């Protein structure tokens, strides 16, 4: 507090010094300001001269910024001050890194005053050249809650509409500048700036962006997709889709290369926050890893030479995260594997369905040693060649929606393999369009098993996944005509099932991390998905999640 009073006294002295130089009684009072307004042609050049003389004096610049801000409140005088008497380098000078916070706040207040009012777009041009300085101030002086953060984010929000009206080349430079600086932010500041960044990137940049610039923006979006909060991940994915559409006509798009963006865009501060709360194990990240690994596995693939290796790598991806099955048609389009002619490889496989059956036949009679030569032991578990073949066949059944064969496969498996993390037979049923078949099997499993059996908890986890996946498309689409009361009831139903699963299962249960992520995501969705300040409210949830992840990692390391 004494320091604040001292700074307040200093700024009063600086304003007094300014009034002396301008030959006014006291520039901190309203009457002298009115005198400046009445005779701006006389005092305007003196304001410029005062800036040139005191460019290294923090308090003098703060006083000048306060006086200019007060003058620009008058709309009639604002254009005269900005166009004629405001130094062009005013904001870069006053927002330098070594300035005292008081000068930075005064400069940002002046910029905010310029952009206020209904005609703020007329003056965005004058602040636009200082955008880098404003972002630097946000990076060096903001802690996410102070006045610097509030003013900077207000300025960025006001300028977003203006930036979207810029030509493609200028807007691209702004987007790249934002990406370069925003990666050094953390906490609330980062979370608040991300919508501004994605807003700038929302319009097509195809006309003026080079391949390197497109890759820079892709890497940024990928980093946010891998290591950010639910709503930010959604915004990142939308920008990813736009960027892919823009770059694809000129250059073939390779998802494997694209997903390597995590190594070029990773905010160390934000990553440490995510590691602290265990969020780096989110299913979104695992799914992105599956996409990249699948492309690596399929590289150079031929049916006559690499069928066994491809089949076993497909098995590894499927058992790591069953949701990788959703991307088969995507990979068919992007890699062309499903379009290769039969005579070129000597095997008639026109699409993924045929390839899966062919791979299943290739690995059915492999020995344990042959399986372990490619599949890590912690993924293979106790599975035999027949089990691996059945998983590939089941994958084929999912693509062909052959629900009858899926039910037969599930019923023929022993309980320990159905409940194991190394298979996904029960999980596969939620992908079928015939929901009542899944309900019938779930009831059958519950009837045969005790509440604490692994079979029952596995079925419960699959039910949670199915209900969650039925909710998310509606929420992402933002359809206002839906029955939101019904949606909210389903959200709380899923959260209740998650709690039931957590109460029934041990810390090393195979699906516990995934269920806990669903519970955590829905909690953030109910409260506010982009508000990092609620972390203290979900601390008990996070503290419960941390030992789960630690146990899972320990078990995985022991098996490997």
What confidence score (pLDDT) does residue 471 get? 72
What confidence score (pLDDT) does residue 144 get? 54
Confidence of residue 167 (pLDDT cuts 50, 70, 90): confident
Whether 472 is covered by a domain: the verdict is yes
Mean pLDDT of 349-376: 82
Mean pLDDT of 381-388: 83
What confidence score (pLDDT) does residue 534 get? 46
Tokens read off for 40: 């701006």
Rounded CA-CA distance 465/536 in Å is: 27
Q: Phi first, then psi: give them for residue 246, nearest 5 degrees.
A: -75, -35
pTM (2 decimals)?
0.46
Residue ending a domain, among 133, 165, 197, is: 165
- Distance of alpha carbon 379 from the chain centroid: 28
Q: Is the pLDDT of residue 23 over 60?
A: no
Q: Is the pLDDT of residue 524 over 80?
A: no
What confidence score (pLDDT) does residue 7 get? 42
Q: Which of 2-6, 180-184, 192-196, 457-461 has the lowest mean pLDDT?
A: 2-6
Mean pLDDT of 209-215: 73
What confidence score (pLDDT) does residue 105 get? 86
Mean pLDDT of 30-50: 68
Residue 118 CB coordination number (10 Å): 7
Confidence of residue 102 (pLDDT cuts 50, 70, 90): confident
Q: Is the pLDDT of residue 517 over 70?
A: yes
Rounded CA-CA distance 468/490 in Å is: 9
What confidence score (pLDDT) does residue 530 get? 44
Whether 413 is covered by a domain: the verdict is no
Whether 279 is covered by a domain: the verdict is no
Spatial neighbors of 359 by CB under 8 A, at least 6 apart, are 307, 308, 310, 311, 314, 392
Q: Is the pLDDT of residue 536 over 60?
A: no
Mean pLDDT of 125-143: 75
Q: Which domain holds residue 494?
A: 434-560
Predicted confidence (pLDDT) per residue in 417-445, tens digit = 544 433 444 444 444 444 445 556 556 65
What confidence score (pLDDT) does residue 96 get? 81
Percent of the chain with pLDDT over 70: 48
If we measure between CA atoms, which residue out of 287, 289, 338, 284 comes closest to residue 310?
338
Higher pLDDT, 526 or 428: 526
What confidence score (pLDDT) does residue 248 get? 47
Q: Which of 92-101, 217-226, 431-440 has the lowest mean pLDDT?
A: 431-440
Whether 102 is covered by a domain: the verdict is yes
Tokens read off for 469: 């996946």
Mean pLDDT of 319-336: 59
Q: Is the pLDDT of residue 489 over 70?
A: yes
Higher pLDDT, 432 or 393: 393
Residue ending a domain, among 140, 165, 190, is: 165
Whether 503 is covered by a domain: the verdict is yes
Whether 515 is covered by a domain: the verdict is yes
H-helix segments, 346-434: 352-363, 368-372, 377-380, 385-400, 403-412, 415-418, 425-428
Rounded CA-CA distance 50/56 in Å is: 11
Mean pLDDT of 442-460: 62
Q: How many domains does the chain have?
A: 2
Mean pLDDT of 493-514: 79
Highest-scoring range by mean pLDDT, 172-181, 219-228, 356-365, 428-437: 356-365
Whether 99 is covered by a domain: the verdict is yes
What confidence score (pLDDT) does residue 551 get? 44
H-helix segments, 202-351: 211-226, 230-247, 255-258, 268-276, 283-298, 307-320, 328-335, 342-345
Nearest-Å Rg of the Cα atoms of the chain is 30
Whether 530 is covered by a domain: the verdict is yes
Average pLDDT, the chain: 66
Q: Is the pLDDT of residue 342 over 50?
A: no
Higher pLDDT, 230 or 61: 61
What confidence score (pLDDT) does residue 549 get? 44
Cα–Cα distances (Å) from 38 to 33, 41, 71, 225, 421, in that order, read: 9, 9, 11, 55, 79
Cα–Cα distances (Å) from 317 to 78, 197, 295, 452, in that order, read: 62, 33, 11, 29
Long-range contacts of the stretch 410-419 (C-beta < 8 A, 24+): 410/441, 411/441, 411/444, 415/449, 415/453, 415/454, 415/455, 416/382, 416/454, 417/382, 417/383, 417/387, 418/455, 418/458, 419/453, 419/454, 419/455, 419/457, 419/458, 419/510
Rounded CA-CA distance 185/532 in Å is: 14
Residue ending a domain, among 122, 144, 165, is: 165
Predicted confidence (pLDDT) per residue in 249-305, tens digit = 444 444 334 434 344 444 444 445 444 444 444 444 555 555 555 655 565 566 666
H-helix segments, 123-264: 124-128, 131-141, 147-164, 168-182, 187-200, 211-226, 230-247, 255-258
What confidence score (pLDDT) does residue 46 get? 77
Spatial neighbors of 104 by CB under 8 A, at least 6 apart, are 94, 95, 137, 141, 148
Higher pLDDT, 516 or 556: 516
Identify whether the C-beta of residue 174 lies closer than 8 Å to the C-beta of residue 163.
yes
């Amino acid at each position: 507090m004494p320091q604040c009073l001292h700074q307040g006294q200093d700024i009063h002295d600086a304003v007094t010094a300014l009034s002396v130089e301008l030959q006014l009684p006291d520039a901190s009072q309203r009457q002298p300001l009115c005198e400046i307004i009445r005779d701006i042609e006389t005092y305007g050049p003196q304001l410029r001269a005062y800036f040139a003389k005191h460019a290294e004096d923090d308090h003098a610049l703060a006083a000048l910024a306060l006086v200019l801000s007060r003058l620009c409140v008058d709309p009639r005088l604002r254009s005269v001050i900005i166009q004629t008497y405001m130094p062009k380098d005013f904001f870069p000078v006053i927002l330098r890194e070594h300035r005292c916070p008081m000068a930075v706040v005064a400069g940002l207040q002046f910029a905010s005053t310029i952009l206020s009012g209904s005609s703020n777009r007329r003056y965005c041009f004058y602040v636009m050249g200082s955008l880098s300085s404003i972002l630097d101030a946000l990076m060096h002086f903001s802690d996410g809650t102070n006045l610097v953060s509030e003013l900077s984010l207000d300025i960025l929000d006001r300028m977003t509409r203006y930036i979207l009206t810029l030509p493609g080349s200028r807007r691209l430079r702004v987007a790249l500048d934002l990406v370069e600086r925003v990666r050094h932010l953390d906490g609330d500041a980062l979370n608040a700036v991300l919508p501004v960044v994605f807003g700038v990137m929302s319009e097509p940049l195809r006309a003026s962006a080079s391949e390197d610039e497109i890759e820079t923006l892709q890497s940024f979006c990928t980093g946010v997709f891998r290591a950010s909060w639910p709503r930010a991940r959604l915004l990142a994915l939308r920008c990813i889709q736009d960027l892919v559409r823009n770059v694809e006509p000129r250059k073939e798009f390779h998802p494997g290369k694209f997903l390597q963006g995590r190594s070029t865009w990773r905010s160390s501060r934000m990553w440490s926050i995510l590691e602290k709360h265990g969020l780096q194990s989110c299913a979104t990240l695992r799914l992105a890893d599956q996409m990249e690994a699948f492309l690596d596995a399929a590289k150079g693939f031929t049916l006559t030479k690499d069928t066994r290796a491809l089949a076993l790598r497909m098995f590894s991806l499927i058992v790591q995260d069953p949701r990788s099955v959703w991307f088969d048609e995507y990979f068919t389009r992007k890699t062309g594997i499903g379009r290769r002619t039969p005579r070129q490889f000597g095997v008639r496989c026109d699409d993924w369905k045929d390839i899966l059956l062919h791979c299943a036949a290739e690995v059915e009679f492999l020995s344990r040693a042959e399986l372990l030569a490619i599949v890590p032991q912690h993924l293979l578990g106790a599975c035999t060649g027949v089990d691996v073949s059945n998983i590939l066949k089941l994958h084929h059944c999912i693509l062909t929606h052959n629900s009858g064969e899926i039910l037969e496969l599930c019923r023929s498996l022993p309980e320990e393999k159905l409940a194991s993390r190394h298979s996904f037979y029960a999980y596969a049923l939620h992908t079928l369009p015939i929901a009542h078949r899944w309900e019938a099997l779930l009831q059958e499993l519950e009837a045969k098993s005790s509440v604490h059996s692994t079979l029952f908890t596995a079925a419960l986890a699959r039910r949670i996944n199915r209900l969650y996946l039925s909710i998310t498309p509606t929420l992402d689409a933002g359809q206002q005509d839906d029955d939101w009361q019904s949606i909210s009831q389903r959200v709380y139903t899923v959260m209740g099932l998650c709690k039931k699963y957590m109460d029934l299962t041990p810390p090393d249960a195979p699906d516990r991390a995934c269920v806990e992520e669903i519970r955590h995501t829905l909690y953030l969705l109910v409260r506010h998905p982009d508000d990092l300040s609620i972390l203290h409210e979900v601390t008990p949830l996070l503290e419960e999640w941390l030992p789960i992840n630690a146990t899972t990692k320990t078990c995985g390391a022991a098996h490997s």
